[in-house]
Structure 1
Amino acid sequence: MLNIEGLERLDPNAPVVMLNLMRFHTRSRDGNGSGWDAYLRYSAITVPMIKARGGTLLWTGDAKAIALGPHAGNDWDFVALVHYPTVSAFLDMMTSEAYEREADPHRVNGCAEHVIVATSEAYSKFKTS
């Protein structure tokens, strides 16, 4: 469930990178392929929505192993970093009728768990200022 209250405490005009942690169902809940297949359908819809709001996919990858920290509950399948120019842009996408109607059902069908952490930049080798 989207934590609107927590996101509204952030500066709405600040850039944000969303750390996405996903664990997939073996089979999509709608019976249409695997959880990964459902997530690919979700991505095909959301990536244009992200780009339309000035955002970009920075990085995605398979989660391979817990290197440090508790293993229990941290067996993620996939990780993604998504940059949005503002927190408001993220909220606009996530609360849009198109997202809720067209994209989110695929996410729900594919993901057994999906955690998104809003981050602010402390350091980046890509920083321009």
Structure 2
Amino acid sequence: MGVDLLNIRGLEQLGHQGPVVMVNLMRFHPRSLDGDGSGWDAYLRYSALTVPMIKARGGTLLWTGDAKAVALGRPDGNQWDYLALVHYPSAAAFIDMMTSADYENRCDPHRRNGCAEHVIICTKESYSKFRIG
């Protein structure tokens, strides 16, 4: 799992040039792979480094929360620890951050140490009661 799994081609073929919200689903390691605290601790180090990078590209962290239970659907494979919704002005801004040397060298190691699994789903707004921007 890593930047090597980034679906740049799929994101570039979206045909949508406007804002996107990335839905992040995360499952943490009990212990950080580098031995420095828990998986959650490693994720907090990752988040502290990435939030300024998101903001520098015109994005913002909209919402985070603990996943509590599967309310509809099969629980197998859908057990997550944490979710985050991150707004970017475009998929290109997301790609720019994820492929930057700063992200790959400083941020991604903490994400890898903390997350046993991390899935990011790119969404385009259909409806929202919130106004971003």
| Match in the other structure for 1:22 | 26
Q: Could you tell me how far apart the structure 2 residues matched to 1:55 and 1:13 are?
A: 14
Partner of 1:84: 88
Residues 45-104 of structure 1: per-residue CA shift (max 9 Å, x gap): 000000000000000000000000110001100000000011110000000000000000
- Measured in 2, the distance between the counterparts of 1:78 and 1:123 equals 23
What is the RMSD of the two structures over their aligned residues, measured on CA atoms? Answer: 1.1
Structure 1 partner of 2:6: 2
Relative to the length of structure 2, the TM-score reads 0.93
Displacement of 1:113 after TM fit? 0.1
CA distance in 1, matches of 2:107, 2:62: 20
Unaligned 5+ runs, structure 1: none
Report the Cα distance in structure 1 between the residues aligned to 2:33 and 2:84, rounded to whole angstroms.
22
The one-letter amino acid of 2:42's match is A
CA distance in structure 2 between the partners assigned to 1:72 and 1:124 by the alignment: 30
Question: What does residue 108 of structure 2 align with?
Answer: 104
- Partners of 1:37 and 1:127 lie apart in 2 by 32
Q: Name the residue aligned to 2:44.
A: 40
Compute the displacement of 1:5 (Å).
1.4
For 2:97, the equivalent position in structure 1 comes to 93
Q: Which stretch shifts more, 53-62 or 6-15?
A: 6-15
Sequence identity (%):
73
Residue 127 of structure 1 and its aligned partner are, at CA, apart by 4.2
Provide the TM-score with structure 1 as the length reference: 0.96
SS at match of 2:112: helix
Following superposition, the deviation at residue 11 of structure 1 comes to 3.4
Give deviations 1:96-129, integer Å, cap 9, x for gaps.
000000000000000000000000001000248x
Q: CA deviation at 1:12?
A: 6.0
- Supply the AA of the counterpart residue of 2:8: I
Cα distance in 2 for residues equivalent to 1:12 and 1:67:
31
Q: CA deviation at 1:10?
A: 1.6
